[in-house]
Amino acid sequence: MFSSFKRAFRPTEIERSEQAALLKSLEAEQFDFWRSRGFSDQEINKIMEREVTETNVLRGFQTHVGKRQLLESGLTTVEEIKASIH
């Protein structure tokens, strides 16, 4: 019974391809944002890697504000972000 239930609600091939396309477009948009601010691909990868590491150590009651949000709101600068990843 459980295996048929699981099979019934498994994403279809079309849904999986749509999800993959969405993830790819989001990643491309992230790279475009950071490149427009003067970051290299290596620096962008470091930023993304650090974001994942920082969010993995959060407790349930804590929130995380990413470097992109800080930069967009004017709370940090490109130079400060570059200094933090080197």
Convert the pLDDT of each residue in 2-32 to its tens digit. 567 777 788 889 999 999 999 999 999 999 9
Instruction: Determine the pLDDT at residue 42.
Output: 95
Checking if the pLDDT of 59 tops 90, the result is no
How many domains are contained in the chain? Answer: 1
pLDDT at 58: 84
Which is nearest to 68 in space by CA: 55, 57, 58?
55
pTM over 0.85: no
Of 82, 86, 75, the C-alpha closest to 37 is 82
> Whole-angstrom Cα distance, residue 34 to residue 48?
10
Q: What is the domain extent for residue 40? A: 2-85
* Confidence tier at 72 by pLDDT (50, 70, 90): very high
